[in-house]
Structure 1
Amino acid sequence: MHIQSSFRMKKLSLTEALTDNVLESGSQDWLLHARYVRGEHAQCLDLADDLQKKNDNKHIYAFYIKGSVLADAGRIQEALEKFHSCLRLQPRDPEPLKQVAKCLYKQGRYQLSYEAYLEADKLSQHPDADIYCALAECLWNLGDVDHGVEWARSAVQAGGGERASSLLAKMLLATNNVNGALAAYDEALSAHACGADTMAAAGALRLRAGDPRRAFQLLGAALAQQPSHHAAALALAAMMLQHKDVDASLARLKTALTAHPECVAAHTNLGLALIAKKKFVAALTCLQRAVWAAPLNGRAAHDLGLALLVCKRPTSAFCRLAAAAALQPSQPYTVLLIAIALERLDDSRSDAAYARAVRLSPQDPLIRMNMAGRHARTGRLSQALEEAEIVAELLRGDDTPDPHLSSSLASLLAALHYAGAQLSESTSSLPDADSALSANSPASDDVNMGPDEV
């Protein structure tokens, strides 16, 4: 035992001696890299300073690592100086030039960053997907999306993986190429193990493209990978709210608000879900919080005005809707809600508001239906009948007409018929109109035609 112990001690001493000789005579770049990767930045800087002293300030990798440490600490200008020192010692190396371009990008100097990445691409001896992705991101910030798409495609072809594919999809979506963006996301999902951000973005786009089944799968997968993912929870809640699953929508919205308490969209959707649950005080609180968080958000003001109308507070609703219309003057539904609020206030300006809503969206059957109802309520039966015929034509041309709107049209036609209006053959031949006219409808004085079509 004593002999074996002394042999082990001699062997250990020999190993330590060899290691010390290597550290003294050989390169210590590996140790510098290891300390940087482990996050030992203080020791890394001390070692870099020692190597610079031993090499008369000509140690290229020490400059590179010091620049990386400074860039991670947010000291971008100092990091630029270190990377420029690398370039002065070795001008043909693309790696320090890539770091210079990255620092310029962090400073918001996108044009200079773009030029630096182009120079790095010239120096690179093989296609570099990181350079191509960075060039696409620079052009995105410079507003040149078309050329950015070309660089993003090059990044995908160079094997850029999930980053390149998702960047290409985002840029294609910015150019209104929804099919191309969907194809890019599908390629990324099939070829790579994508993260929650990519799956959430792909799911939201699938939902926008009218594929709720696939959108539900992608959003669910994103939440399974990251349960607190804000965007996925918000999109899934909106989908559930659209399908009248209010309780599940409320659960998802609470998850989204836990991850992002100041999210305007989450507060807004939560307020609309609470209105569906008839919890009006809580709904108004959520919608008011959304308006406070984003006072210049026209959609938040619009939704709060809608909730106030539902709560039969037309004066407050008009104030909020007027603010929303000032922020989004071309939004026809906001103008329509203003018209309804003015009508409930017995304001003569409601006719002008209804007319403006029709001018903003003349092919919208919902707006035309409300216009017809306004004419009927004021006794303008001929004009109401004209608008009803327009609504009927729009519904015939729609592949999937709204059943609620068809039912409202049938009720309006029945009321006009009993009020003495002469229906045309094309209008009275609607199935819903026939059923409404053949039913035992009440007298015209008892017909409830309040401005509640919205």
Structure 2
Amino acid sequence: MATASSGDHPKMADEEKSTSLLASAEAKKRRAPKAPELPIVERRNWLIHQHYIRKDYETCKVIIKEQLQETNGMCEYAIYVQALILRLEGKIQQSLELFQSCAILNPSSTDNLKQVARSLFLLGKHKAAIEFYHEAARLNEKDWEISHNLGMCYFFIKDFKKAEEHLNIALQINKHDKTFMMLGKVHLLAGETDKAIDVYKRAVEFSPENTDLLTTLGLLFLQLGKYQKAFEHLGNALTFDPNNYKAILAAGSMMQTHGDFDVAMNKYRVAACAVPESPPLWNNIGMCFFGKKKYVAAISCLKRAHYLSPFDWKVLYNLGLVHLTMQQYASAFHFLSAAINLNPRMGELYMLLADRTLW
């Protein structure tokens, strides 16, 4: 009887083992779940998003074009991002048309309606924007952005009551600095200074390091003649941002009012680095020179302010005052007459003009 050699057994065992491993691997492969295949409509959405957030708009537009060709223009996300890019490029009307297409493809999307409304707002069609924002609000009542933007729209059509209502709703949903700023502005234009101050006080409590809020509140106190509170808030604003030119101008004007011309000029030097073409800055510098009886320098600065803002009656008033002081009556008459044409209800202008005619 023939028998197999002892050397054949390990080879047969290895072949059986490798066959078994192969079969096991194939079985596992059959049982393993396949990676989900994205529908053709959404296949490139992730790539579009990546290039958009990196601000690589040219590449993004190329991918969007390919995606829309494949889907026969039915890819909502590609159209949406294309509309965003067009808006960034200043093509508002084209972006509006694309956002409207998105709203047709997915009418239950709040984002699509908000973007249509936003484009209408940027085109100055505030009433049409209000309609779309209200439609979006029906889908999502607790959206801060919708309430804030409704307040903005009503503000621009000068319906201050409804603007106040929607801005207050926005603040109830979520407190934002810019909503506080807009609500304060609404109260100011409605002639409700006390309410505006209350709003800005709440805003400063919520955001104590916001220099715009601190400066605005300081300026309001300055207008009301409450110099201590004004100086306090303007000082806080300058603590957080020493180069805040609005706060610098306001603080300088306070010092100038109290006769501290040199200190005020030091403040204005800092502001001049930030805003060298500011008409109020050059107006204030000119009046500092006037206070120091340096009339030629005062006229030079005031004429620069007038060049930068030719329809500012305050600059014309100051030019008239300086020329009158220098007994240059023809020039004084010219500037004071121009100021009266711009602000005919300012009694002091007529008084200065009368002073000129008495000479």
**Is the TM value for this pair above 0.5?**
yes
| Identical aligned residues as a percent | 30
2:86 aligned with 1:70: yes
Describe the shift of the 1:42–1:233 C-alpha distance in structure 2 as closer, same or farther (beyond 3 A): same
Number of aligned residue pairs: give it. Answer: 323
Q: 2:318 is matched with which residue? A: 303
Structure 1 vs Structure 2 CA RMSD:
2.3
Q: 2:251 is matched with which residue? A: 236
2:213 counterpart SS class: helix
Q: 2:22 is matched with which residue? A: none
User: Could you tell me which of 118, 122, 125 is aligned with 1:102?
Assistant: 118
In structure 2, C-alpha distance between the alignment counterparts of 1:88 and 1:148, rounded to whole Å: 29
In structure 2, C-alpha distance between the alignment counterparts of 1:105 and 1:228, rounded to whole Å: 33
Q: Unpaired runs of 5+ in structure 1? A: 1-20, 346-454
What one-letter code is carried by the residue in structure 1 that aligns with 2:340?
A
TM-score normalised by length of structure 2: 0.82
Mean Cα displacement is larger for which, 220-229 or 274-283?
A: 220-229
Conserved in 2, the CA contact under 8 Å of 1:162 and 1:194? Answer: no
- Structure of greater Rg: 2
What one-letter code is carried by the residue in structure 1 that aligns with 2:60?
C
In structure 2, C-alpha distance between the alignment counterparts of 1:48 and 1:139, rounded to whole Å: 36
Q: CA deviation at 1:68?
A: 0.8
Note the alpha carbon deviations across 1:221-244, whole angstroms, 9 max, x for none. Answer: 334444443322222221121122
User: Could you tell me which of 50, 59, 71 is aligned with 2:75?
Assistant: 59
2:184 aligned with 1:164: no
Q: 1:314 is matched with which residue? A: 329
Note the alpha carbon deviations across 1:334-386, whole angstroms, 9 max, x for none. Answer: 1111222222x1xxxxxxxxxxxxxxxxxxxxxxxxxxxxxxxxxxxxxxxxx
Q: CA deviation at 1:73?
A: 1.1
Note the alpha carbon deviations across 1:72-105, whole angstroms, 9 max, x for none. Answer: 1111122112211211111111111111111111
Describe the shift of the 1:194–1:106 C-alpha distance in structure 2 as closer, same or farther (beyond 3 A): farther
Q: 1:47 is matched with which residue? A: 63
Q: 1:87 is matched with which residue? A: 103
In structure 2, C-alpha distance between the alignment counterparts of 1:233 and 1:256, rounded to whole Å: 6
In structure 1, C-alpha distance between the alignment counterparts of 2:142 and 2:161, rounded to whole Å: 21
2:233 aligned with 1:218: yes
Q: CA deviation at 1:212?
A: 2.3
Describe the shift of the 1:24–1:151 C-alpha distance in structure 2 as closer, same or farther (beyond 3 A): closer
Q: 1:32 is matched with which residue? A: 48
Q: Unpaired runs of 5+ in structure 2? A: 1-34
Q: CA deviation at 1:168?
A: 0.7
TM-score normalised by length of structure 1: 0.66
In structure 1, C-alpha distance between the alignment counterparts of 2:194 and 2:37, rounded to whole Å: 57
Q: CA deviation at 1:170?
A: 0.8
What one-letter code is carried by the residue in structure 1 that aligns with 2:278?
C
Note the alpha carbon deviations across 1:106-149, whole angstroms, 9 max, x for none. Answer: 1112221222212221222x321211111111112112122211
What one-letter code is carried by the residue in structure 2 that aligns with 1:271?
G
What one-letter code is carried by the residue in structure 1 that aligns with 2:303?
Q
- Equivalent residues in 2 for 1:68-217, closer than 5 Å: 68-124=84-140, 126-192=141-207, 195-217=210-232
- Equivalent residues in 2 for 1:286-365, closer than 5 Å: 286-343=301-358, 345=359
Q: CA deviation at 1:28?
A: 5.0
Note the alpha carbon deviations across 1:266-314, whole angstroms, 9 max, x for none. Answer: 2211110111222221101111222233333222111111112222333
What one-letter code is carried by the residue in structure 2 that aligns with 1:238?
S
Mean Cα displacement is larger for which, 275-284 or 246-255?
A: 246-255
Q: CA deviation at 1:328?
A: 1.9
